Structure 1
Amino acid sequence: MLRLAVTGASGFLGWHVRVLLRALGWPEPAVVSRAELADPERVAAKVAGVDRVLHLAGVNRGEPADVAAGNVQLAAQLARGLRHCPTPPASVVFANSVQAGNGTPYGDAKATAARILADTGLPLDDLLLPNLYGEHGRPFHNSAVATFCRLLAEGGQPEVHGDRDLSLVHVTDAAARLAGVPAGGSWDPTMPALRIGVRALADRLSAIAATYRTGEIPPLSDRHDVRLFNTYRSHCFPAHYPLALPRRADARGELVETVKVHAGGGQVFCSTTRPAVTRGEHFHLAKVERFVVLRGSAEISLRRVGDTEVLRFPVSGTEPVLVDMPTMWVHKLVNTGSDELVTLFWTNELFDPTSPDTWPEPVEETRPAPVAVGA
């Protein structure tokens, strides 16, 4: 368990780093804000004695000259703070880019930033990151995946004007690599990449969106399918939920189609819950989980990790609906009725008690939260 300090903690990658640390119960990292970076003494106070400084702050959009100057300035400010530190950190990890040194203003600035950090004399892990994707990425900013997902979630279609090959890494894998988290659970610090063309990516996400439009689960044949699906779902939530389920009735009674999975399985289980009793109070990093109340009445409450707003869905067995839990959202189910509650649950994977991907946390926040990333 390492003690960390982080720049760029409120960005896409920084938020995912903090969510992973929170799941594992590691200490909250010391956050160095952009305002603090301008003051060497404040930087020194924040990073003194930590095991690892993660330099995630950067500029990747804007005028080329501004982007270049911004990335060099941020590294220089951190370097000044490190030199002022009476007890320097054990190492620095730089979230660099595979574009470093490629002759563009951005790429050359990232290479210069790496040299500036190396000149501090501290051990430097210069990590060249490819394209990152994942839940709650900013469309038209973080990645083509986020842009395509947002367009599809809003009923549009991605437009591909020029095809090229991409190497995509899920952001939790990158977070694990940066933070020094060993392999385990749903993350992989070796950062296995999905290599795919832009047009093929658009087609793959379009197929996911078309299948999921009625609540059917698309094929989830590998870890990238699951993570692309979770990324798409993050752009659907909360506007697309709850989703009404097909019902059929005849003289015998009623039938409700709760889960339809294309080319896959998973696990289905059913629970009863007594009045006023709560289930849940946890979040998942990768697992897909569906709630369907079949009898009684309940409230499903959710809060994104690092946020304070709680979303609430009243649900009832008289009008069955599905609510799929978005990854990295704490959730719970409370029986709000006077009778026993019957709920069906589905997950995309069999429960593994050695790696359950279930991270306890109350929906009603009681401790300091990670800075939430903008959606």
Structure 2
Amino acid sequence: MAGAVRKILVTGAGGLIGWHAAARLHAYNCGARFKGEDAPYDLVALDRDGFNDDAKLAAALDGADAVLHFAGVNRGTDEEVAAGNPAIAQRLADAVTASGGKPVIVYANSTHADGDSLYGKSKAEAAGILGEAAPLANLVLPHIFGETARPDYNNVTATLIDRLWKGEAPQINDGAVVHLLHAGEAAQIAIGASQDASSRTIRSDARTISVADLREKLQSFHASYTANIFPDFSDPFDLALFNTYRTGGFPEQYPLAMDVRSDARGDLFETAKSRGSGQSFVSTTLPGQRRGDHFHFSLVERFLVVSGKAVIRVRKLLSDDIVEFEVSGDHPVAIDMPPLHTHHIENVGDEPVVTYFWAHRLFDPANPDTYADPVLKEPQP
């Protein structure tokens, strides 16, 4: 990451892949600052309103080295779908031309662009428009899943997860097959593609799975997790899918109540069980002190206060939305930290807080998957 600061514009930053891409670029900046280095990226993230604002779009493109273009239309009337993606591409192409620059454009295209559907044709046409304006990395993506995906919005994985958490039986097409790629992996491919100014088409690998098997796997996750058992994470796809599943229940399904057994000797409760491997540890936090203020890409991590009073705060990256949980050792509950959400625990009592932590893998100093980022945005002096 050493070298000059690169300005990168992310369009569609309010969408699934756009948010994941912006969050990863933000993570690299956080990692550099933690080491006392300059942030490698000047990140500009535009949602739909920002993209449609002429002044904001022009300012975002001024001096931009790359554009990760995730803005698009994938549902609506036939006319809206057919016209929407070319119109969005033309707006970006015109703005790039007006800027006088030649940023690399990484375009989130679709495998549907190889077919004859209205959506596919609109995506293919949009790619052609963008290729006339600047060097184009045409990123052909399969079905995308991932944390914060919207159910009932052309995302079968998110819809299945939503039905499971609601206790409903998801209806599926038993013969359907999907080719799945995690949004974080797609975002990483896009970030890597932005380093190369050559025009080219990039096709990503995907996990092919029937919708019936996908439902069965998610149902297995749900049955285990609601019984306080974590599944085996040895397959990276299962880890990404499980993180997507558990984030789909956050924060409505939390905290998770512990099954406390009492007898003359006292109380006993199981904190977490894993079908794979993991690491547990305990910390003490003095009154008024905090631990954490960091986030992870994929680490599965559980917080459980066993003594004292504390507040656990969780903030979704690149937002001001903070969820707070008041916790106490008198009533043990678990909070599992969702990926790409920065978090901390603060002692708000008069006695030390004792907290049990569990993580799904052993700590690796060479790959800590930990990025410092304060939950609370303190006033600047």
Common topology (TM > 0.5): yes
SS of alignment partner, residue 299 of structure 1: strand
For the pair 1:99 / 2:103, whether they are aligned, the reply is: no
Pairwise mapping of residues 137-152 of structure 1 onto structure 2 (< 5 A)?
137-152=149-164
Cα RMSD after superposing both structures? 2.2
Aligned-residue offset at 1:96: 0.5
Are the counterparts in 2 of residues 30 and 47 from structure 1 also a CA contact under 8 Å? no
Corresponding residue for residue 93 of structure 2: 79
Q: CA deviation at 1:64?
A: 1.9
Counterpart position of 2:15: 11
Q: Displacement, 1:220?
A: 2.2
What is the aligned counterpart of 1:283 among 292, 295, 302? Answer: 295
Whether contact under 8 Å (2:172, 2:212) holds in the other structure is yes
Superimposed CA distance per residue, residues 234-259 of structure 1 (whole angstroms, 9 cap, x where no aligned partner): 11111111112122233333222111
Q: C-alpha displacement at 1:364, in angstroms?
A: 0.9
Partner deviation per Cα, 1:164-210 (whole Å, 9 max, x = no partner): 2211111011111112289xxxxxx9955222111100111111111
Structure 1 unaligned residues grouped into runs of 5+:
183-188, 369-375
Distance change >3 Å, CA 224–CA 118, structure 1 → 2: same
SS in 2 for 1:54: strand
Deviation readout 1:290-332 (Å, 9 max, x if unpaired): 0111112211111111221322111111221111111111111
- Cα distance between partner residues in 1 of 2:240 and 2:246: 10
Question: Against the structure 1 CA distance between its residues 42 and 277, is the aligned structure 2 distance closer, same or farther, given a 3 Å change threshold?
Answer: closer
Matches within 5 A, 1:221-240: 221-240=234-253
Are 2:370 and 1:358 aligned? yes
Change (3 A) 1:28 1:148: farther
Query: Which secondary structure does the structure 1 equivalent of 2:272 belong to?
Result: coil
Distance in 1 (CA, whole Å) between partners of 2:273 and 2:46 is 46
Per the alignment, residue 50 of structure 1 pairs with: 64
1:170–1:191 contact (8 Å) kept in structure 2 = no
Counterpart check, 1:170 vs 2:171 = no
Specify the alignment match of 1:273 in structure 2.
285
Distance 1:34-1:238 versus aligned 2 partners, 3 A rule: closer
Q: Deviations over 1:10-50 (max 9, x none)?
A: 21111111111111104342345555656777644431332
Q: How much has 1:52 moved relative to structure 2? A: 1.0
Stretch deviating more after TM superposition (295-304 or 285-294): 295-304
CA distance in 2, matches of 1:36, 1:297: 42
Q: Report the identity percentage.
A: 41
Letter of the 1:66 counterpart = E
Any idea what SS the aligned residue of 1:219 has?
coil
Q: Does the aligned pair in 2 maintain the 1:43–1:82 contact within 8 Å?
A: no
Q: Using the alignment, how far apart are the partners of 2:375 and 2:46 within structure 1?
A: 27
Unaligned segments of structure 2, at least 5 residues: 30-39, 195-201
Does residue 227 of structure 2 align to residue 211 of structure 1?
no
Alignment of 1:53-64 (within 5 A): 53-64=67-78
Number of aligned positions between the proteins: 359
Q: 1:312 to 1:42 in 2, by over 3 A?
A: closer
Structure 1: distance between partners of 2:282 and 2:159: 37
SS state of the match for residue 229, structure 2? coil
**AA in 1 matched with 2:173:** H
Identify the match of residue 233 of structure 2 among 220, 242, 246: 220
AA aligned opposite 2:93? A
Find out whether 1:29 has 2:33 as its counterpart.
no
Maintained 8 Å contact 2:137/2:193? no
Alignment check: 8 A CA contact 2:309 2:347 kept: yes
One-letter code aligned to 2:227: T
Asked whether 1:197 is paired with 2:201, we answer: no
Q: 1:372 matched to which residue of 2?
A: none
1:295 partnered with 2:307: yes
Residue identity matched to 1:196? I
Equivalent AA in structure 1 for residue 309 of structure 2? S
* Kept after mapping to 2: 8 A contact 1:230/1:326: yes
The one-letter code sitting in structure 2 at the alignment partner of 1:344 is Y
Pick closer, same or farther for the CA change 1:5–1:107 going to 2, 3 Å. Answer: same
Please report how far the alpha carbon of residue 350 of structure 1 lies from its aligned counterpart in structure 2 after TM superposition.
Answer: 0.6
Deviations 1:106-136 (A, max 9, x none): 101111111111122x211111011111001
Equivalent-residue separation in structure 2 for 1:247 and 1:349 (angstroms): 26
Corresponding residue number in structure 2 for 1:245 = 258
Assess, with a 3 A threshold, how the Cα gap between structure 1 residues 296 and 34 changes in structure 2: closer, same or farther: closer
TM-score, structure 2 normalization: 0.88
Q: Secondary structure at the match of 1:132?
A: strand
Q: Which amino acid aligns with 2:299?
A: K
Aligned residue number for residue 20 of structure 1: 24
Residue equivalent to 1:371:
none
